[in-house]
Structure formats: structure tokens, C-alpha cells
Structure 1
């Protein structure tokens, strides 16, 4: 009996984990594989950075999250997004690998539909995870998402080397189609229906609810359509849905702690992403082969990032853990690593090392990437747990939208600077840019130090 109960409790986490894994594949494809390929073809840093604009659908996630919540329901949106991801990947099998514009269009489609999928899965996580499992749930989220990035980066690169471009993307399409079929038969699919206020109709002077516990959902929806059609309530119902959307957005803005957390998540990845995206390109320019860089940056560093996320989950699972202390500790460590990377760039550019000493730059650069990836994993798990903890303070119908808004702000911070970093490098040089990365890595620390302690508690008092 205990074993069955344990399996039953683990099933929602397994479901969340697989859904987060498949939505991480497009990001891994774009973040770990495409930039190195473009730079190896001789494109400027600014042109490589410009590809980050394709992540803009994730920035808009907070705006259409209330629409997903109100219209159609999460279950319908989840299946639609998975099928659309499969179709997009299958279309990619017909693309010429040397056509950058076609690859960009495919990546944009994958980003749009994976962002929609993320809204529905975040809403599910907020609904089924109790307070004492937020750390574990966010560990599953971050770790499996990063494994998806690993599959989309190193995994698809390895498959491409063994097969061909069409086979690689047909395989990816099959993964999404399989997930759509599997999701259509989930036993927890009832949790994917958003909770909304039930409309009431008057009949013979009495007030009665349209819905009841005994009436199937599809019958309720059919009866509601008939009633509104006969009584001319279509327009008022449509207006009511728009009012509900704006009501959700209002609740998102007025949730306590939103301003503090929005400021933090906007800043906390800026310097880190600039360093972690451009240090590989720097050591590539210093003569390290693409194969070696793909192994270290695409496999080892991603594995260390996953290990850091696991460790973050273990730390947060302990009683009386302070998220604020964890974030300050590892953000300070991250600041030291970015300063070290700045020193590595200075070592090569200012001291004019000879070719026989370039191996030193390669080794130090790879070491810094490994350490930065590990600390990034810990910080990501702690930050997303904090985001989910604050989102739980919203009313139930606004929680998913609040969390999606915070996630959009986080992506906006990363995207804004990741897009501009290449232009800054081309204009001012690598050394000054890494000095800027160092300054940006210090800003989240200032926000964390001044952030109220009550926002960083794992459990409610």
C-alpha cells in the first residue's frame, strides 16, 4: 500500500518532468548549437547575438497567459502546442541547413509553441504541488528543462553527425507527436481545467448554477452554448471573459512582492548569460576546435548545470532553509567567476601570449565555464522556487499568469542583454565587455541584500 502511494505521488512529478524536458529542446538547439555554427562560418558577434531575438515569444508569455487561462482551458492549449511543435519540427526536415532565414523561421515557430506549452505546464505545477514540495517540483522543472536543452544541443548534434538533417528533425517531430498522444490520455488532465467563477441563471424566480458535480464538462459547455444563444447572452459573455482577463492582470500587478521579484529576475541572469554565451566564442576564436568546444560547453557544462540544479533542490528541501542565503552565497560565487573570466581575457589580449601558451587560455576558459554552469544551476533552482512561492500568494485563477509574467521578465532580461552583447563586443572589444558582465553580475546581489526576508521563506507561517 505504501509503495503504491509513493508511486501515485511521484506520477505528477514525472509528468511535469517529461513536459518540461520536451519544451527545453528548442532552447538547447538555439543556445548551444546554432551560435557556434554561425560563428564558425565567420559571422560577426553582433549577427550571432541577433539570433536571440527569436526568443521574443517567451517575453510575451505573461501577456497571453490570461488568454490561455480564460479561453479554451489548459488541456486544449497543451495538446494544440504539442501538435504544433511536432508539425514545426517535421517542416524543419525539409529545410536547407545552410539557409539561415529558414532555420530562423523554424526556431521562431518552435519558440512560440513551446512558450504556450510552458504556460499550461506552469499552471499545472502551481495547482498540484503543495507548499512543502515547491523545492522538489522546481528541481524537477529546472533539471528536466536543462536535460531537454542538452538533448536539443549536444543530442541533436550527435544524431545529425550519425544520420542526416531530415532524419534528425523527423525524429524530433516524432518525440512531440508521441508526447501529444501521451498527454491526451493523462489521468490528471482534469487538473488542467482553469477554475473560473460559475455563471448563474434565473429560472422561475430561483437561482441555479449551470454546472454541477454530476454533469460532464462537455454537457455543461453544450448546455451553456444553447442557453446563451437562445437568450442573446453571447456578447455579454464575451465581454465578461475580457473583464476576467483584465482582472487577472490587475491581480498579477498588485500581488505583494511582485516589484521586488520582477527587479531581481530581470537582472539576475544578465551578466551570467553574457559571459556564458560569449566565453565559448572567445576560446573558439583562440583556436579551440568546434568538436572540443561542443563536448565541453554542450555536454560537460550542461551536465554540471544539471548537477547544480540537483544540489539546489537538496538544499532547499532541508527544514528552515533560507532561499535568500542560498541566492546571496551562490550569486557571490558567480560574481567571482565572471571576474575570473575577465582576467582570462586580459591575460591573452594584454600580455600577448604566444601560440604555445594558448592552451592555458583554453583550459582557464573551460574551467570558468564549468564553474559558472554549476553555480548557475543552483541559482536557477532557488530563483524559480522563490518565483513560485510568491505566485502562490495570488488567487487561484491568477497564479499561472503571475508565474508566467515573472518568467517573461526573466527571459526579457536575458534576451535584452544577450542580443546587445555582440554589438558591444564588436564596438568596444571583448575585455571591456567582460568588465561590463562583471558589473551586471553584481547588481542582483544588491537587490537580494535589500529584499525583505519574508519574501524568501519556503513555507507559510
Structure 2
């Protein structure tokens, strides 16, 4: 099996610290722009549809499969990751020169640029994780992925939004820059790691430009893309509406940051740890089914909160439940996606599946906003609950029937301990 990422071993603290720092770096700006930007726009009178249109700014995440083959086969993963990390830190500092009071256009451009950088870094990081982790370790690895990302969202959607509420835009931007710079340190500590030899015969740039096409045509891959979309659609609908709903209920911005950003992401971190353990102990099928049902049922609290949005205990309970079980379900899903990825095309396969999740989240946000503007929060959140139940059922039934990629057949009903290594 040939490779060219950083050569690190799956045992020991250094590789885990490396992966943690890289996923924290992705969660930082994403947490701020997804948690804070909708609140700030609603505060300035934007409609739900206008807020949902900002999902287009995350288009690089949906299109990263286009450059995934190049990241997989050109250069080294360290060569991709290090410059991107530093450019992101510098870019966050430059945001301090933008005045959001003059309009959001410059902020939108910055969001798009951050997403383009993070989407490239994500391909390299995901490919590195797939290659580092054997089948038994993937529950832990995806727990780290989701958990570290949640830590980034705690910092970006909670801490940075709180800094904005207390001190303003400039300190918030400089704080983001400092945090991103800190995430560069574990990458730099890998300076002495030896690079594995390159492939004997690399594909041409022309071949790499469409290198994702044959991966998409692999048996069962297209269906699995649709299934992961279905699994995340209902939950994503609900999550996209909570910030605007609380703002409409006259919650202070700082309190929204606390409940949605800090508390939600911390509980999501605990859910990610639990989900990693369940994927290891229970096996893929039982983890996906159990966590998916729990995630869907947790959304009923948000349905109740739509009628009582000023009921603090109800909203806080809904946030805790949804983030806890949502974190568990996400880890179970990402572990399945890693199982479906061929190690020789790790970044490309996993990226195709991750792009499906991003597409599902964007479409879900738009559908939820349209329903919310037309009928109100209660019907929109109820629809999200129904689609979450349906998505979980469809995925499990399809994979039970053997409709997914052949690589999943040996793992679907068996715990990792019985499945061996990839």
C-alpha cells in the first residue's frame, strides 16, 4: 500500500494530538460563522431565507471532491496542511479591518475564503486519518474527529461570539487568529517526521482533475451518498432554525452563544466520545440505528420549544439532548463512511461522502427556512423530526439489504473486535 502523508504511528499521543489540532482548526471558523453569523444577521433584520442563503458560502465543502484526487496524489499532506493553517490564522487577523456595520458583503467574501482553505485542509486531514486508523481504531478516530471539531465550535461559536458580545468585532477577530495560530503547533512538531516515498507512477494532472469520477462509479457508492444525506437531513433542518428562533424570542446574543455554542458543543463533545465507544463495542448497524433513533427523538424537545421559546429549562434541555445524541449519531455515521473508503484513495472516497453530508446540511437549511417563513417554526421543526426518523430507517434498511459498497458487508453487522483490520 503506497502512501505519501506524514508518516506517524497510530499509537502514542502525538498522532492523536495532531489529528485533534487539525479538526479543532476546522471547527473554529465554522463554529463562528454558522453559530454567530445567523444571529448577527437576524439582529440586523435579515429574513430566514436570506440567512439560509449564506449556506452557499459553504459551497467549497460541497465541491471539495473536485480537488480531493490532487490532494491525495500530489505533494505531501504536510505540504498542504502547514501553509493553509498559517494563511487561515493571518486571514482571521485581517478580518479585524472589516466593519460589519457597513454591510455583510466583505464578511461573506471572508467566509467563502475560509471555507475554501478549510475544505482543502480537510481532504488532507481525512485522508491522513483513514490511513492511520485500522478498523478497530476508527470509532476512536471518528470520536476524535467529531469531538475536536466540536471543541473548535465551542471556541468559535461560543467563546468568540461571547467576545464579540462583550468587546466587539476587532477583539473577536484577533482572538480567532490567535486560536488558529495555536492549532499550528502540533503540525510544526511533526517537522522531523519522515515522508513516505511517492508512488512509482503518478497520474497526470488531467487524470486527477476527474479522478473522483471512477470513485463515484464504484459499486454502491452513489447509493451510500444518498443514504448519508437522508440520515443527516432532518437533524440539520432543526439545527439551522434554533439560533434565529431564539433571537426572535428576544434571547440576548450572549445567552444564545452560551446555550448553542458553548453548552451545545461541550455536550456534543461528550456525545462524540460516547459514539466512538458505541461504534467500537456495538458494531456499525446497532450504533447507527440506536444513535439515529435517539437523535431523532431528541428533536421532539425542540418541537415543544417552538411553542414555548422563552421557557429556558425546556430550551436548554432540548439543546443538551440534541447535541448529545447528534454527536453520537455523527460519529457512528463518519465511522461507516471511513469503512467505505478505500485506503488507496482515502481522501477522495471519504471526501465524496463528506460532501454529501455538506450538501444535505445546505439543502436542509434552505428547506427549513422556507417552511419556517411560510408556516412558522413549529411545522418546520416537526418536519425535521419526521425526516430524521425516516432517514435513519432508510439507511439501515438499505444496508441490511446489502445495497451499499461491498467493503461494508463484512463490518455492517459485526463489532470491530470481530472484524479484524482494514
Q: Tell me, yes or no, whether TM beats 0.5.
A: yes
Shift of 1:306: 1.0
CA 241–283 in structure 1, closer or farther in 2 if over 3 Å, else same: closer
Shift of 1:133: 1.0
Q: Distance in 1 between matches of 2:325 and 2:149?
A: 16
Q: Is the 8 A contact 1:70 1:241 kept in 2?
A: no
Structure 2 match to 1:213:
none
SS where residue 60 of structure 1 aligns? helix
Q: How does 1:417-436 map to 2 (within 5 A)?
A: 417-436=364-383
- Would you say 1:449 and 2:399 are equivalent positions? no
Structure 2 match to 1:241:
205
Q: Distance in 2 between matches of 1:180 and 1:312?
A: 27
Equivalent residues, number: 400
Q: Is the 8 A contact 2:71 2:347 kept in 1?
A: no
The structure 1 residue matched to 2:45, chosen from 34, 42, 66, is 42
Q: Distance in 2 between matches of 1:37 and 1:29?
A: 11
TM-score by length of 1: 0.79
Q: Distance in 1 between matches of 2:183 and 2:236?
A: 30
SS where residue 287 of structure 1 aligns? coil
Shift of 1:407: 0.5
Structure 1 match to 2:335:
385
Shift of 1:327: 1.5
The structure 2 residue matched to 1:12, chosen from 7, 15, 26, is 15
Q: Distance in 2 between matches of 1:139 and 1:84?
A: 27
Q: Is the 8 A contact 2:295 2:329 kept in 1?
A: no
What are the superposed Cα offsets for residues 160-210 of structure 1, whole Å, 9 maximum, x if unpaired? 35544333323332443454465244157545x6853337xxxxxxxxxxx
The structure 1 residue matched to 2:323, chosen from 356, 364, 373, is 373
Shift of 1:266: 1.1
CA 244–118 in structure 1, closer or farther in 2 if over 3 Å, else same: closer
Q: Distance in 2 between matches of 1:61 and 1:197?
A: 26
Structure 2 match to 1:335:
296
Q: Is the 8 A contact 1:283 1:365 kept in 2?
A: no
Structure 2 match to 1:151:
155
What are the superposed Cα offsets for residues 40-60 of structure 1, whole Å, 9 maximum, x if unpaired? 222211112112211111000
CA 427–382 in structure 1, closer or farther in 2 if over 3 Å, else same: same
Backbone CA RMSD of aligned residues: 2.6
Structure 1 match to 2:403:
none
- Would you say 1:307 and 2:270 are equivalent positions? yes
- Would you say 1:22 and 2:34 are equivalent positions? no
Structure 1 match to 2:224:
261
Q: Is the 8 A contact 2:156 2:176 kept in 1?
A: no
Gaps of 5+ in 2: 1-8, 401-408
Q: Is the 8 A contact 1:46 1:420 kept in 2?
A: no
The structure 2 residue matched to 1:282, chosen from 226, 233, 245, is 245
Q: Distance in 1 between matches of 2:68 and 2:192?
A: 21
Q: Is the 8 A contact 2:85 2:180 kept in 1?
A: yes
Q: Distance in 2 between matches of 1:194 and 1:278?
A: 48
SS where residue 46 of structure 2 aligns? coil
Q: How does 1:168-183 map to 2 (within 5 A)?
A: 168-180=172-184, 183=187
Gaps of 5+ in 1: 1-5, 200-238, 349-357
Shift of 1:127: 1.6
Q: Distance in 1 between matches of 2:94 and 2:113?
A: 10
Q: Is the 8 A contact 1:386 1:458 kept in 2?
A: no
TM-score by length of 2: 0.86
Structure 1 match to 2:110:
106
- Would you say 1:411 and 2:358 are equivalent positions? yes
Q: Distance in 1 between matches of 2:161 and 2:253?
A: 12
The structure 2 residue matched to 1:399, chosen from 346, 349, 358, is 346
Q: How does 1:183-194 map to 2 (within 5 A)?
A: 183-187=187-191, 189-190=193-194
Q: Is the 8 A contact 1:30 1:107 kept in 2?
A: yes
Structure 1 match to 2:5:
none
Shift of 1:259: 3.2
Shift of 1:282: 2.1
